[in-house]
Structure 1
């Protein structure tokens, strides 16, 4: 992490331990964070230090890598550890997002189509792309999961697409791409190691508006598409909502759809999400007390907002994070991270 002068590395004793080392201008250093991770013992066959994910002395990548891992930090004070695990039969993919700033983790298990089983292991690992406080999990030809790391409690606030809807428009093979992460950029960047070109990944307001305006699919209740609409609405309002023209288009959509959907009230969501964005921009720490969505006030949340078809999600609360050194607690850790970032 070049912005904050922090180094992350894995060590294995009884369990895998992710350590974060902070370096200072006085040429001193200290361990500021330790995080226990549940990984298979034989997760990594080889360990190499390479430049931008590319080893000039051994261009052929191993197909035995069952685990891929990345760590992302953000200026708003978020830190995510992302890793994917491909099961040996190639039928299921597991990816996990450890949200250290939320003291929880989300593990997803996705069943892959059987006609893709002939692909190499390296082709079945997803790309983790940070875009603001969203993490895109992209597996070409399979799915795109846009995970909201600020409000991860309900799955309906994260957008999941599968099938024909999944296409980032990459001009290169994902297996030859590596993520270039900088905290001061709102968009993600991908470096094509084969062609030497850099691609930008951004959330498209046009596509999100299409999701809002799309009717329910034939022979399919509207509640099936409600989670996607809700996720798209919050992304447009909270993440992109400072655009007056975009907000006007959302209001026009609301005027054309005044009757509440089966699973949520779009007018209430518009009001709460807009107020959340306005206040959040002025005071970063208010997100813990501000109402983000009316869904939390429901006595019984509709089932369609709590699950993703074909995906098994497991949530773990109170992850084993040990803050050390000057950052003896979570608050000190994030204030130190913010201070180093703003220098």
Structure 2
């Protein structure tokens, strides 16, 4: 969905018009048929060849920076150019070719006895040439390229590859003579043999690396030589492979071109093998072998930087898979992905950066052969419209995690190895016609210790895998475990609180913990009658259960949460979603706790990153989480909810509101599974939509199961906007009895109703009773203590208890504006109602 394939260079578009302008319009068919690419140098220059009139073979070069073509060399005979390369200064051209026929003299300049030749040509200007090789086996040539900051040198270095299983390096000295760059005529060109007895070699042009395989017993060993700008080279890698290439001919990758008439001659390769690297230190080997008596194609991907391999088996409709058909199998490097493509059969995308991700299996035909890039808002729209079709993963979770991973991991080195990149713990979805098996392989051995660039990153990958097999990613399971650990501790203390009210222990708990625990118990369908936030008790000594939550730690959590909210980028002035800026203690506690945990996680592994940088990474991580949730809502609102002022309680919801409500349900579910906080006002808006879109029974059920946590802002809005008609009274009562006590005590006074009065009186009585101690209270007769004598024992006992408390406290009802008469009246009405005396 994010792939955009387009040609940066097209041979017939960028070269063919220039070729025809050279004076060969009458040979259009021949030029078009013989025009082909033979090499692409490190700087992007493209070398190509074609056959013109009068039996001439020409070699040209295209510069992608200037978009200009230039003739490099012309051979006055029709030969098949196999490979060619030009040095950085464009003063020397090396080429190898095969004569079309050895009969007769193929050239008036050269009359070789051997079939294959390798030449070194002076091209500034064309002055002279030297024969490097004249043999009966195919040879290929490639100049080494220094670094970008390397000054122009008078010495060039050339690699020569032979099908006779050896590789040589030539050192060519040049000098300026009469405005011409010529090869120094000081005898034979210096050369050295780099290696021999190899069966496979691949030239990595961008990295200036040579990979090669040497057979050993029944297996093979992969080696790598790194060439450096100072003309030095080092053997950097060695790893054993569980494949056998001993009985096959030499195979060379990224080293020229086999003319059609030369294909298959001199080599009996029945396998396709290629190495790919990416910028983050990934090194993978792709291997495919022609099956003998099977219609299936099998290829193996060895993730050398991870110590594992995957073997894919694809069922095809081909009856006889020939070597030619297998050669049509292409491996295309897309940096973090490698595309495996067999025309008319399958197109796979393999994630080389994260091997545990699934293989993307695509069939391309017609208009679906190209992938187009789509913008962030369009991705959100696609997710919202296709939520019901995604059964194996949560697209909202994947979108949020993938965006954060891509955005943040590119800012700091090695951060991508620590942040989660998917919410799916295991990709186990079956793909029809494709099977996959995973195996462990030997880890590569690094031949050098101090290295930079790619090899430094590759070495880090190996160290991460060697140190431990544990996952280094910051996962939502880790967050949920810490969150539940805190709540379990609170459950223990609140249990003590309920069973020891008459004991000598004075129970205390933090005010913030109270709010957190109240909300948690509410969501878990447990006791909702916990004491509200703000009560102060003497401290109860805690047992150390792993991580003691003291006041300093709690204050740090709240400060972190405030920083996240202030760091959000979503502009309030441009926001169309009616999010209420409310105080949600649970979300702030969760936000701050997760920040602390992520900072600890990154500090443990990012030793090279300073404390302030880690602080910024963590701050951006959670603030961007909230921004993405707000952005999803903005896209939904702008497309479906044109009038945000319709969110009232007196009408039912429309289809657009049903759609928005469903999206918010999925966001809430995704956030819960990820232990991710939600932006302020999200839950209140969700409740308003739910009340408009759901029947009362369903709405209350959503509240009871914890899918719709009640908020103070929603209850205040409900009590203020709805009158006290019978149906509204029923709704208000249904909501109030479900409120956590820390909210109910603040909203009851907003509703002047008998139900609220009952709650106020009950709460205050419980508060007074809690003040009693175990000391004996001398009680006088009821007739002496109060003129309010009612022939009902429970009520008389209550009056007596309250009178005792009144005598022992100064202004006991002043803070709540409650008097004894009010309490007695409420108690009598409540008792009468329960006894059915009305």
Q: What TM-score do you get using the length of structure 2 for normalisation?
A: 0.28
- Show the counterpart of 2:405: 276
- Show the counterpart of 1:161: 362
Once residues 51 and 147 of structure 1 are traced to their aligned partners in structure 2, the CA distance between those partners, rounded to angstroms, is 21
8 Å CA contact retained: 2:351, 2:357: no
* 1:316 and 2:439 are equivalent in the alignment: yes
Once residues 251 and 308 of structure 1 are traced to their aligned partners in structure 2, the CA distance between those partners, rounded to angstroms, is 26
Once residues 269 and 262 of structure 1 are traced to their aligned partners in structure 2, the CA distance between those partners, rounded to angstroms, is 13
Q: Tell me: higher relative CO, structure 1 or 2? Use CA pairs within 8 A at least 6 residues apart.
A: 1
Q: Residues 133-212 of structure 1 correspond to what in structure 2 (within 5 A)?
A: 133-155=336-358, 158-162=359-363, 165=365, 204-205=371-372
Change (3 A) 1:330 1:91: farther
Once residues 242 and 418 of structure 2 are traced to their aligned partners in structure 1, the CA distance between those partners, rounded to angstroms, is 31
Matched residue SS, 1:150:
coil
Matched residue SS, 1:205:
coil
8 Å CA contact retained: 1:260, 1:266: no
Of 299, 303, 308 in structure 2, the residue corresponding to residue 95 of structure 1 is 299
Once residues 329 and 43 of structure 1 are traced to their aligned partners in structure 2, the CA distance between those partners, rounded to angstroms, is 37
Matched residue SS, 2:384:
helix
Once residues 61 and 149 of structure 1 are traced to their aligned partners in structure 2, the CA distance between those partners, rounded to angstroms, is 31
* 1:2 and 2:125 are equivalent in the alignment: no
- Show the counterpart of 2:242: 38
Q: What TM-score do you get using the length of structure 1 for normalisation?
A: 0.64
Once residues 332 and 50 of structure 1 are traced to their aligned partners in structure 2, the CA distance between those partners, rounded to angstroms, is 21
Once the two structures are overlaid, the 10-residue window that deviates more, 246-255 or 97-106, is 97-106
Deviations 1:7-32 (CA, angstroms, capped at 9, x unpaired): 11110112201100122344433211
- Show the counterpart of 1:262: 391
Q: Which runs of 5+ in 2 are unaligned?
A: 1-203, 461-838
RMSD of Structure 2 on Structure 1 (CA): 3.3
Once the two structures are overlaid, the 10-residue window that deviates more, 51-60 or 3-12, is 51-60
Once residues 167 and 17 of structure 1 are traced to their aligned partners in structure 2, the CA distance between those partners, rounded to angstroms, is 43
Q: Which is higher, the Rg of structure 1 or of structure 2?
A: 2
Deviations 1:45-80 (CA, angstroms, capped at 9, x unpaired): x21658744235952336942211111222232222
Total equivalences in the alignment = 254
Change (3 A) 1:327 1:99: farther
Deviations 1:152-208 (CA, angstroms, capped at 9, x unpaired): 2032xx31124x659996xxxxxxxxxxxxxxxxxxxxxxxxxxxxxxxxx7136xx
8 Å CA contact retained: 2:250, 2:269: no
8 Å CA contact retained: 1:72, 1:130: yes
**Cα deviation, residue 268, structure 1:** 1.1
Q: Which runs of 5+ in 1 are unaligned?
A: 170-202, 207-244, 338-343
**Cα deviation, residue 124, structure 1:** 2.4
Change (3 A) 1:133 1:309: same
Change (3 A) 1:327 1:25: same
Matched residue SS, 1:96:
strand
The structure whose residues are more often strand, as a share, is 1
* 1:117 and 2:240 are equivalent in the alignment: no
8 Å CA contact retained: 2:276, 2:283: yes
The structure whose residues are more often helix, as a share, is 2
**Cα deviation, residue 269, structure 1:** 1.1
8 Å CA contact retained: 1:144, 1:166: no
**Cα deviation, residue 100, structure 1:** 2.1
* 1:325 and 2:448 are equivalent in the alignment: yes
8 Å CA contact retained: 1:32, 1:326: no
8 Å CA contact retained: 2:305, 2:458: no
- Show the counterpart of 1:13: 216
